[in-house]
């Protein structure tokens, strides 16, 4: 079966194959970031576990990197509403990727010789995606694919089988730097360096004290993707766009946690629960109050 047929049957947009040898140049990058900014709590704290597939599955020879396009239509917010990032306006990509990854294992007859890994693991997906020929890492620290830009959600399969590997492709952001200039958190420092704790996407998932000026954001931040010229011609996702507009505080404040989960649990952006959204609405209300005075 050729790759196009596999993609279609598994409901995927991209698939690449690469060796499972540990990542090398990324070690210095992670150590530097740890020294300057620390690692955020949602990423692996043991750097070797982010680099070496054999610490997660053994014996491992190959890594399969697969992904789906998550680009959604932009929405116009009404006054008072909170904004969920584009990836949250479609069904939870973790569920979609797990289903597609399982189909992929069946199609390639890997079931007993592979480990499927979607999100709840520390391996640096984007670095393996680069090694598997799916794109290059941009200034915004995301994978930039020639068709799907920065909009791919990725999963990995570690397997003891070998495949013909895809070669790493080059690419460059040249002197663009639009994402660095537009980043509302000042998190992009240039040279592909991100301060994770200043990123508003992280802050919308965190209840920690400190500056929480999120603007209208209820979950996630799309600014560095929206301004990126590499995303100009990315097609819309084939997944259902569940949310067509923002969410108001009134819609959630009286819901029990169980009701919240029933209503929004199928969205990626709801994984931190109602408490996180209510906390974020403090910043959203301040944003709309400021806007009304302008
Ligand atoms: S997600 Fe938002 S805050 Fe984070 S790096 Fe991108 S533009 Fe900056
Ligand atoms: S906005 Fe420009 S610098 Fe930033 S990732 Fe896109 S192409 Fe690269």
209: phi > 0 → left, psi -120 to 50 → alpha, else beta; which? beta
Could you tell me the pTM of the whole model? 0.93
- The one catalytic residue among 13, 92, 119, 222: 119
Closest C-alpha to ligand 2, atom 7 = 173
pLDDT of residue 33: 83
The answer to whether 142 and 188 are in contact (CB under 8 A) is: no
The secondary structure of residue 89, as a DSSP letter, is G
**Residue 241 pLDDT:** 85
| 3-class secondary structure, 152 | strand
pLDDT at 258: 95
Q: Is there a catalytic annotation at residue 119?
A: yes
pLDDT tens for the 294 residues of the chain, in order: 799 999 999 999 999 999 999 999 999 888 888 888 777 766 667 899 999 999 999 999 999 999 999 999 999 999 999 999 999 989 999 999 999 999 999 999 998 899 999 987 899 999 999 999 999 999 999 999 999 999 999 999 999 999 999 999 889 998 999 999 999 999 999 988 999 889 999 899 888 755 678 999 999 999 999 999 999 999 999 998 888 899 999 999 999 999 999 999 998 888 889 999 999 999 999 999 999 888
CA of residue 225 to ligand 1 center, whole Å: 8
The DSSP call for residue 235 is P
- Residue 21: name the closest of 132, 134, 98 by CA: 132
pLDDT at 158: 98
Q: Whose CA is nearest to atom 4 of ligand 2?
A: 179
């Amino acid at each position: 079966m050729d790759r196009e047929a596999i993609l279609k049957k598994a409901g995927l947009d991209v698939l690449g194959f690469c060796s499972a040898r540990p990542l090398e140049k990324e070690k210095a990058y992670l150590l530097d970031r740890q020294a300057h900014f620390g690692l955020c709590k949602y990423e692996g704290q043991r750097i070797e576990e982010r680099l070496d597939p054999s610490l997660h599955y053994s014996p491992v020879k190959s890594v399969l990197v697969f992904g789906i396009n998550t680009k959604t239509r932009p929405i116009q917010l009404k006054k008072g509403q909170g904004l969920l990032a584009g990836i949250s306006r479609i069904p939870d990509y973790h569920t979609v990727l797990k289903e597609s990854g399982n189909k992929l294992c069946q199609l390639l007859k890997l079931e007993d010789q592979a480990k499927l890994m979607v999100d709840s693991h520390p391996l640096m997906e984007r670095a393996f995606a680069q090694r598997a020929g799916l794109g290059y890492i941009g200034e915004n620290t995301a994978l930039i694919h020639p068709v799907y830009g920065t909009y791919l959600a990725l999963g990995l399969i570690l397997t003891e089988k070998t495949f013909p590997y895809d070669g790493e492709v080059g690419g460059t952001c040249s002197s663009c730097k639009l994402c660095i200039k537009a980043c509302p958190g000042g998190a992009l420092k240039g040279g592909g360096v991100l301060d994770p704790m200043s990123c508003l996407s992280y802050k919308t998932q965190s209840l920690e004290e400190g500056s929480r000026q999120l603007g209208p954001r209820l979950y996630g931040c799309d600014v560095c993707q929206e301004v990126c010229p590499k995303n100009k011609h990315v097609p819309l996702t084939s997944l259902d766009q569940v949310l067509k507009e923002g969410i108001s505080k009134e819609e959630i404040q009286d819901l029990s946690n169980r009701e919240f989960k029933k209503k929004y649990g199928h969205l990626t952006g709801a994984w931190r629960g109602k408490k996180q959204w209510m906390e974020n609405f403090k910043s959203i209300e301040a944003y709309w109050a400021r806007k009304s005075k302008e």
